[in-house]
Amino acid sequence: MLDTLENQPLSLYIHIPWCVEKCPYCDFNSHAVKSAIPEQDYVTALIADLDADIERFALSERALHSIFIGGGTPSLFSADSIKSIIKQTLSRFSHEDDIEITLEANPGTVEADKFIGFFDAGVNRLSIGVQSFSSDKLIKLGRIHDSGQAKTAAKLATESGMTSFNLDLMHGLPNQSVDDALDDLKTAISLNPNHISWYQLTIEPNTIFHSKPPKLPVDDILWEIQDQGVKLLNDAGYQQYEISAYAKPGYQCQHNLNYWQYGDYLGIGCGAHGKITDSRTQKIMRTIKVKHPKGYLDTSRDYLDQLSEVDEKERPFEFMMNQLRLHSTFSIKHFQTSTGLGIETVLPQLTLAKNKGLMENEVIRNDEYWHVTTTGQRYLNDLLEIFL
């Protein structure tokens, strides 16, 4: 190992676990609301959790790169609670005045009406979970909003003052045709978001869909949806910068980019994951917080459930698993400073990937840059297997 491991840009993920109903495809740590949400207690716990991590990893001198409030459905919380979380968080770090602060929201009218309040609270980017504009598909997905509410949410996001907003949209839905999927995408584009997350539905373990699988489109239909959809997005001015992320120029999600570039992030809230680099000890640490709200809010126990070190042997694959999702280059220097390892640890795999036509490289100003080819993007799983 080389003594080159450097602290990476630091983001913060805040998990709010409650939602109105648990969707059948969802494998996130979310809990359907069965009684009043202990909103104020949870805000207090989040900040205590944050302070514990700051002390644990000596982070008081690190700058904060971005904040992402996810769930669950964070928009169930009041604007005052979101403001309190943001204000207390920002007071603990140095940060840019225009730091990206994203909040996930559902398009139901009750949540959508809060958008201006969230903007006043400090949120400058919304991520709206639309998933589909088709009524029958929304019902099948267990969503509680309809197409009209989704369109209204996008309109309100545009008018709220937010710097940017994202629409989350899925394809490859139960019994979905190519035309169905493209109609959804055309509707999303017509609402003029700065960013669209467009991804294929996958069946995950421990979900309702896993125990009762729906009938999904065959591979030929999925390929056609993908090919035609990417053309639609490109023609509308959206640039694909990651497997499922498309943005107008200058509106890439900075928080998610930091994940994919193997940056650092704190994770606070129920079941949240974190990854922190410590250049002083040349270690990379991972954290997982207590998963269930009842346990997380138990003041007699620690918020931290698991703390582990990322072994040197794991770092190359972790780096590649994230970085190769991006449609951009990475440098040998970045690999070295973010893993603490020399390029010789992955050079045989990179060479093999190049020989298979899955990656390419070039030297620019005394540094070597690598990127995934179009073929590599199409067969990303095969590419990743090379680094296992």
Average pLDDT for 323-336: 96
Query: Is residue 238 included in any domain, yes or no?
Result: yes
pLDDT digits (tens, 9 = 90+) for 35-57: 899 999 999 999 999 999 999 99
pLDDT digits (tens, 9 = 90+) for 124-176: 999 999 999 998 898 888 888 888 999 999 999 999 999 999 999 999 999 99
Claim to verify: residue 66 and residue 213 sit in the same structural domain: yes
CATH number for 335 = 1.10.10.10
Claim to verify: residue 253 and residue 342 sit in the same structural domain: no
Query: Is residue 120 included in any domain, yes or no?
Result: yes
Q: Where are the alpha helices (DSSP H) in the chain?
A: 39-56, 79-90, 109-112, 115-121, 135-140, 147-159, 178-190, 208-211, 219-235, 254-260, 293-296, 315-323, 332-339, 347-355, 374-378, 380-386
CATH number for 85 = 3.20.20.70
pLDDT digits (tens, 9 = 90+) for 368-379: 999 999 999 999
Number of folded domains that form the chain: 2
| Domain hosting residue 358, numbered range | 315-386
| Domain end call among 258, 280, 295 | 258
Using the CB atoms, write b or e for 56-70: b if 16+ within 10 Å: ebebeebebbbbbbb
Claim to verify: residue 123 and residue 222 sit in the same structural domain: yes
The one-letter amino acid code at 156 reads L
Query: Is residue 301 included in any domain, yes or no?
Result: no
pLDDT digits (tens, 9 = 90+) for 290-313: 999 999 999 999 999 999 999 999
Claim to verify: residue 225 and residue 323 sit in the same structural domain: no
Give the pLDDT score at 109: 57
| Domain end call among 214, 241, 258 | 258
pLDDT digits (tens, 9 = 90+) for 350-364: 999 999 999 999 999
Phi-psi region of 303 (alpha: psi -120 to 50; beta: other; left: phi over 0): alpha
Look at the pTM and tell me if it is higher than 0.75.
Answer: yes
Angle 5-7-10 from CA coordinates, rounded to 5°? 150
Q: Residue 168 is inside which H or E element, if any?
A: strand 164-171
Give the pLDDT score at 63: 98
Query: Is residue 289 included in any domain, yes or no?
Result: no
Claim to verify: residue 238 and residue 323 sit in the same structural domain: no
Contacting residues for 131 by C-beta, under 8 A, at least 6 apart: 137, 138, 141, 143, 168, 169, 170
Claim to verify: residue 211 and residue 340 sit in the same structural domain: no
Give the pLDDT score at 113: 75
| Domain end call among 235, 258, 281 | 258
Nearest to 180 by CA among 195, 169, 166: 169
Query: Is residue 276 included in any domain, yes or no?
Result: no
Query: Is residue 268 included in any domain, yes or no?
Result: no
Percent of the chain at pLDDT > 90 equals 82
Query: Is residue 282 included in any domain, yes or no?
Result: no
Average pLDDT for 73-102: 97
Claim to verify: residue 158 and residue 14 sit in the same structural domain: yes
Enter the tokens of residue 95.
């940060």
Claim to verify: residue 75 and residue 160 sit in the same structural domain: yes
